[in-house]
């Protein structure tokens, strides 16, 4: 049982990595600041490094949402197994739809569902749930959106140049590309330090409850290493569907916008983490991209895509909770139930994977039209190119929508 949970936890870590590559690397890939393949490689390395940096978060994995420990309920490996299963399946479904949804919310949702089934409604601390998960889900995108909007405005008004006769002078906004690499690297590093730790926390919890590790000790080295490798591998595998949604589906991102968006994301995440109120990286990043789209004149925000993403957020917690609860209910019947859970989960994972093969989204087609953008600091061709990119973005957006329709049937 313990080994099974550890394997599942590592797989969750993997999905977490490839789900969240987009947060850091979607905009720099979309503007051609860095080639998509290099972008995910960079993000993978930063996640790997980030995972080793800190184990602070790992100590409180459920963040107090579930009343565990003394005076509360006893969390069993079966509960964790069911919760993880719910989280993994929801993560894969949203990835298939190309929706950037919060992996932490999926994990919380799954654990909540499993805990409610295993120990009743009293197992969940609803005020913590409200103030740590539900409220931030509205506030994080709002903050990111307005900050990115203002930052984009600022960037464009500062770099706007006119000659004496009112003719346009070269702005050389391509310079923002270099900055994008740094700002998005910060996001990737922060992601590694936070998200890999959740899995470390889960595994440590299981090891402790299974009696393999002393109570009150932190993650042991092999757990840290395994989590770091899993999240890095997931990041490198790249959730190209989500990168496409974030990079071209919401709005057409230009270097200055991308830089403004990534800087807002990095600032919001660092600030909130410092003040002990972690905002979801995914929600902050999506909000920033929309805000930067509103901030640039002539950029349109595709609200249809934004609505689908917001719908995904609202569903994440309850949907993962329902799946976690179903898995916990099945598992509570004993070893047979756990086996059924495992087989069913594996079947769903395989099915989603096979389904995704029907229209593959990879590094080569996630953001089209960028192959020549690396040399794009030349100004004269810019108009034509951005028109091409806009068209490509629109067609990409339509394919994702039709795909969503197909699968909802």
Point out which residues pair with 8 in neighbouring strands. none
- Report, in Å, the least distance between residue 356 CB and another protein: 33
Under rule CB under 8 A, residue 139 binds another protein: yes
Measured CA angle at 25 (ends 62, 87), to 5 deg: 30
135 binds another protein (CB under 8 A): yes
**Closer CB to another protein, residue 193 or residue 369?**
193
Reduced to 3 states (helix: H, G, I; strand: E, B; else coil), residue 124 is: strand
What does the DSSP 8-state code read for residue 133? I
Counting Cα atoms < 13 Å in the Cβ hemisphere of 46 gives 22
Question: Among candidates 34, 19, 114, 25, which has minimal Cα distance to 66?
Answer: 114
For another protein, which residue of 7, 158, 346, 347 counts as binding (CB under 8 A)? Answer: 158
The residue (of 260 and 299) whose beta carbon lies closer to another protein is 260
Binding mask 191-230 for another protein (x = CB under 8 A): --x-------------------------------------
Residue with structure tokens 């990835």? 95
Residue numbers 296-355 binding another protein by CB under 8 A? none
To which residue do tokens 């990409």 refer? 396
Residue in 37, 171, 382, 385 binding another protein, rule: CB under 8 A: 171
Q: How far is the CB of 268 from another protein (least distance, A)?
A: 4
Query: Interface residues for another protein in 53-92 (CB under 8 A)?
Result: 53-54, 56
Does position 375 interact with another protein (CB under 8 A)? The reply is no
Q: How far apart are CA 82 and CA 79, in angstroms?
A: 5
Q: How far is the CB of 218 from another protein (least distance, A)?
A: 13
Task: Kindly determine how many residues on this chain lie close enough to bind another protein according to the rule CB under 8 A.
Answer: 52
Beta-carbon contacts of residue 145 (< 8 Å; ≥ 6 apart): 287, 288, 290, 291, 294
DSSP state for residue 248 in the 8-state scheme: I
| Chosen residue from 69, 74, 120, 161 binding another protein by CB under 8 A | 161
Q: Contacting another protein (CB under 8 A), which of 69, 122, 175, 388?
A: 175
Backbone angles phi, psi at 124, to 5 degrees: -105, 135
CB of 41 to another protein, least distance (A): 19
Q: What is the spatial distance between Cα 17 and Cα 11, in angstroms, rounded to a whole number?
A: 10
Site map 262..281 versus another protein, x via CB under 8 A: -xx-xxx-xxxxxx-x-x--
Residue 236: in which H helix or E strand, if any?
helix 221-237
CA distance 341 to 280: 29
DSSP 320-336: HHHHHHHHHHHHTT-HH
Q: Under the criterion CB under 8 A, does residue 395 sit at the interface with another protein?
A: no
- Please choose, out of 123-131, 227-235, 309-317, 345-353, the segment that lies near another protein by the rule CB under 8 A: 123-131
Which residues contribute to the site for another protein (CB under 8 A)?
50, 53-54, 56, 126-127, 130-131, 135, 139, 143-144, 146-148, 150-151, 154-155, 158-159, 161, 169-173, 175-176, 179, 182-183, 186, 189-190, 193, 256, 259-260, 263-264, 266-268, 270-275, 277, 279
């Amino acid at each position: 049982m313990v080994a099974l949970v550890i394997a599942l936890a590592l797989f969750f870590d993997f999905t977490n990595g490839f789900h969240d590559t987009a947060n850091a690397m979607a905009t720099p890939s979309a503007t051609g600041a860095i080639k998509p393949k290099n972008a995910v490689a960079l993000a993978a390395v930063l996640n790997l490094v980030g995972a080793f940096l800190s184990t602070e978060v790992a100590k409180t994995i459920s963040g107090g949402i579930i009343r565990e420990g003394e005076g509360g309920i006893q969390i069993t490996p079966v509960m964790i197994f069911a919760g993880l299963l719910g989280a993994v399946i929801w993560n894969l479904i949203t990835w298939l739809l190309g929706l950037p949804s919060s992996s932490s919310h999926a994990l919380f949702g799954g654990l909540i569902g499993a805990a409610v089934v295993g120990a009743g409604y009293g197992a969940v601390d609803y005020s913590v749930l409200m103030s740590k998960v539900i409220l931030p889900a509205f506030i994080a995108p709002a903050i990111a959106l307005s900050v990115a909007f203002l930052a984009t405005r600022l960037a464009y008004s500062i770099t706007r140049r006119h000659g004496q006769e009112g003719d346009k002078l070269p702005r050389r906004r391509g310079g923002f590309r270099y900055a994008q690499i740094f700002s998005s690297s910060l996001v990737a590093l922060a992601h590694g330090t936070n998200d890999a730790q959740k899995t470390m926390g889960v595994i440590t919890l299981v090891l402790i409850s299974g009696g393999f590790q002393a109570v009150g000790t932190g993650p042991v080295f092999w757990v840290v290493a395994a989590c770091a490798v899993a999240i890095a591998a997931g990041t490198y595998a790249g959730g190209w569907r989500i990168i496409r949604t974030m990079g071209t589906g919401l709005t057409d991102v230009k270097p200055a916008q991308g830089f403004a968006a990534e800087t807002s994301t990095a600032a919001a995440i660092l600030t909130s983490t410092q003040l002990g109120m972690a905002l979801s990286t995914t929600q902050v990043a999506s909000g920033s991209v929309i805000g930067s789209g509103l901030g640039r004149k002539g950029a349109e925000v595709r609200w249809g895509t934004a609505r689908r993403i917001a719908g995904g957020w609202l569903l994440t917690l309850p949907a993962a909770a329902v799946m976690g609860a179903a898995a916990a209910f099945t598992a509570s019947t004993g070893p047979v139930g756990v086996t059924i859970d495992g087989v069913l989960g594996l079947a769903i994972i395989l099915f989603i994977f096979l389904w995704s093969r029907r229209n593959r989204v990879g590094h080569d087609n996630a953001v089209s039209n960028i192959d020549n953008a690396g040399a794009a600091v030349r100004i004269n061709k810019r108009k034509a190119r951005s028109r091409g990119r806009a068209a490509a973005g629109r067609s990409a957006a339509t394919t994702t929508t039709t795909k969503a329709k197909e699968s909802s049937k």
